[in-house]
Amino acid sequence: MGQVTEIVGRGLARFLTKPVRQSTQVATISQEKLAATLQPGDVLLVEGNARISVAIKYLTQSTWSHAAIYIGDVLPSSAPWQLPQVLIEADLQEGVRAITLAHYAQMHTRICRPVGLNDEDRKRVVDYVIARIGQHYDLKHIFDLLRYLLPTLPVPTRFRRRLLALGSSDPTRAICSTLIAQAFESVRYPILPEIQRTWSDNPMQADCYAEIYHIRHHSLYTPRDFDISPFFDIIKPTIENGFDYRSLAWSDARQELKQIPCNQPGK
């Protein structure tokens, strides 16, 4: 039964990862600018164009449907002429894998950078995801994949995040952006924790309170959470590398169309 479930799950995965024909992608950042700006530990959000991306965008009410993490040039290249594999992601079909920046060169992306992460913890985050290369995507729960066949099914807002928490909780199988959430949890870096305010019992300090952070379960994290997190900075390479609007070369000339009479001989 488990083998049949796995086969059906892989078939659904292939269907859900096929691009949507009506989808259009606009890359606002060149691959060269991404390479010059990204730092190890940065999260790269992607506006995907697959069938499953439509469902994730709807359920999260966000542009972003996928997330990868930048690890830098730490993985050896199999051949000198090949591009370095500098991103790690959990792919629905391939599982946890390392890919090049060219993989998302034609897609809309956004860089989210953890603020204040020290070098030691940054290395631990990178080592965490590298150690999980080769793990499979969790395809044990077929009903978790079936829900994405109806991407625009009306779902109350309070239940949408729960619908994205799929999988069997098997620690050897990765799902969606949870791999990145687990990496940051390993160094206790916050993404979007639940914050509880505890007021002081001292009458002299009645207006004082403490904030206690509660870590969300990693299966509940979505790509959107890195975008809205108060602990991640949004990095725009065009601005980061110095932007001067006066240096732009605008083309204001309009080419006039030549009208040729239809009934003239030799035309």
Phi, psi of 222 (to 5 degrees): -125, 165
Q: Is the pLDDT of residue 173 over 50?
A: no
Measured CA to CA, the distance from residue 33 to residue 27 in angstroms comes to: 12
Residue 235 is predicted with a pLDDT of: 95
Q: What is the pTM of this model?
A: 0.74
Which pLDDT band, with edges at 50, 70 and 90, does 45 fall under? very high
User: Is domain 2-191+219-243 classified as CATH 3.90.1720.10?
Assistant: yes
Please answer whether residues 203 and 98 qualify as being in contact, where contact means their C-beta atoms are separated by less than 8 angstroms: no
Least confident of 89-93, 191-195, 204-208: 204-208
> CB neighbours (10 Å) of residue 10?
16
Residue 258 is predicted with a pLDDT of: 47
Q: Which residues of 205-222 are buried (b: 16+ CB within 10 A; e: fewer)?
A: eeeeeeeeeeebebbebb
Which pLDDT band, with edges at 50, 70 and 90, does 139 fall under? low
Please answer whether residues 218 and 164 qualify as being in contact, where contact means their C-beta atoms are separated by less than 8 angstroms: no
Q: Regarding predicted confidence, which is higher, 25 or 159?
A: 25
User: Which residues, including other chains, have CB under 8 Å from residue 177's CB and lie 6 or more apart?
Assistant: 66, 67, 90, 221, 222, 223, 225, 226
Q: Which residues of 136-145 are buried (b: 16+ CB within 10 A; e: fewer)?
A: bbbbbbeebb
CA distances from 203 to 200, 208, 211 (A): 8, 10, 19
Which pLDDT band, with edges at 50, 70 and 90, does 151 fall under? low
Sign of CA dihedral 162, 164, 167, 169: negative
Averaged pLDDT, 104-129 = 95
Please answer whether residues 179 and 90 qualify as being in contact, where contact means their C-beta atoms are separated by less than 8 angstroms: yes
Least confident of 65-69, 119-123, 150-154: 150-154
Greatest CA separation found in the chain?
101
Q: Is the pLDDT of residue 116 over 90?
A: yes
